[in-house]
């Protein structure tokens, strides 16, 4: 069985809401594949979140 996939789109102005959504998804689910479509979120943010 493949992992559930979630795709989200966000820009820098709503980054706090995206982070809250990600924390909730990851807390309540295992093995998700999450893709974030973004026009202006800095690459450093993704590095910090992945840690």
Structural domain range at position 19: 5-50
Domains contained in the chain, number: 1
Report pLDDT for 16.
92
Confidence of residue 2 (pLDDT cuts 50, 70, 90): confident
pLDDT tens digits for 3-48? 899 999 999 999 999 999 999 999 999 999 999 998 898 888 888 8
DSSP of 3-35: PPEEEEE--GGGHHHHHHHHHHHHHH-SS-EEE
Report pLDDT for 1.
72
User: What does pTM read for this prediction?
Assistant: 0.77
């Amino acid at each position: 069985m493949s992992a559930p996939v979630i795709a989200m789109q966000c820009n820098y102005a709503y980054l706090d809401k995206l982070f809250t959504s990600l924390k909730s998804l990851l807390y309540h689910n295992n093995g998700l594949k999450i893709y974030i479509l973004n026009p202006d979120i800095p690459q450093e943010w993704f590095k910090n979140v992945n840690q």
